Amino acid sequence: MLRRCLAHPLTRGLSIDSPETTELRRQIIRGNRFLQQIYREWCEAICQRLPDVPGQVLELGSGGGILADYIPNAITSEVFPCSGIRMVADGRSLPLASGSLRAIVLLDVLHHIPEVRGFFREAARCLAPGGAVIMLEPWVSRWSRFVYTRFHHEPFQSESPDWSFPEQGPLSGANIALPWIVFERDRALFEAEFPELRIEQVQPLMPFRYLVSGGVSMRSLMPRPATPLWRALEKSLEPWMRHWAMFALILLRRV
């Protein structure tokens, strides 16, 4: 009931798998100044970690985001045709030459890939030595487990024995807990299967701001001037972020 009342009017009633919904989400980000500041911080954090090696930058799942504003020459891509992208591509089968990329960036995308081993194989193939996969993804903590299991529309399956889930629509198919499963619970398995992709950073972050912003599917709950107060609160929780984080910044390096 609460979710229905707070649903954003631009996307209410639309299928989550519709390209129209994806394009409207970009409009929602630009129109919500509190949310736009969050995406600005995320995009800047990604840009700061772009490696200084030859090659292009590929963004997977670009359709609803604004990262292209910060990396103008990036190869923007989506799994279906929509405006603002340069390539329709599945992360498990990239139409790119081996060693041609300096970075692959994903913002809230990895947990929608039904069989992530396919993506990791392609990332290892397409990245130049020293290249990076840079991701901003949902994360599992005591707080996020409470939020994601009660208030989020995407499946949360932290007990899943595997890294895959049934292939459905491009956005309705998901497991919010997947990044945590791969890079925390099953980290040793990932390191054994993909030694060419070294886990360089996993930084849990942002327990509250995205939630109160309304995100891309709910109405905004906060004005832009409230940003410093929420940022200060989150900074005060940094020593305990593993218990509070709803997201994590993840950096993999191609060795």
What is residue 168's predicted lDDT score, i.e. its pLDDT? 85
197, amino acid identity: L
CB contact at 8 A, 85 and 75: no
Listed in order, strand segments (DSSP E) in the chain are 56-60, 75-78, 87-88, 101-107, 127-138, 197-205, 247-254
> Looking at residue 237, which CATH number applies to its domain?
3.40.50.150
CB contact at 8 A, 77 and 58: yes
**With bands split at pLDDT 50, 70 and 90, how would you rate the model's confidence at 6?**
low
pLDDT in tens, 72-117: 899 999 999 988 899 999 999 999 999 999 999 999 999 999 999 9
What is residue 31's predicted lDDT score, i.e. its pLDDT? 87
Place of tokens 């899943």: 160
Average pLDDT rounded to a whole number, residues 225-247: 96
Distances (CA, A) of 18 to 6, 14, 15, 21, 111: 20, 7, 5, 5, 18
Whole-number average pLDDT of the chain = 93
How many domains does the chain divide into?
Answer: 1
Residue 2 in this model has a pLDDT that exceeds 60: no
Q: Which domain holds residue 191?
A: 2-254
pLDDT in tens, 151-210: 888 999 999 999 999 888 888 899 999 999 999 999 999 999 999 999 999 999 999 999
Sheet of strand 75-78: strand arrangement? 87-88, 75-78, 56-60, 101-107, 127-138, 247-254, 197-205
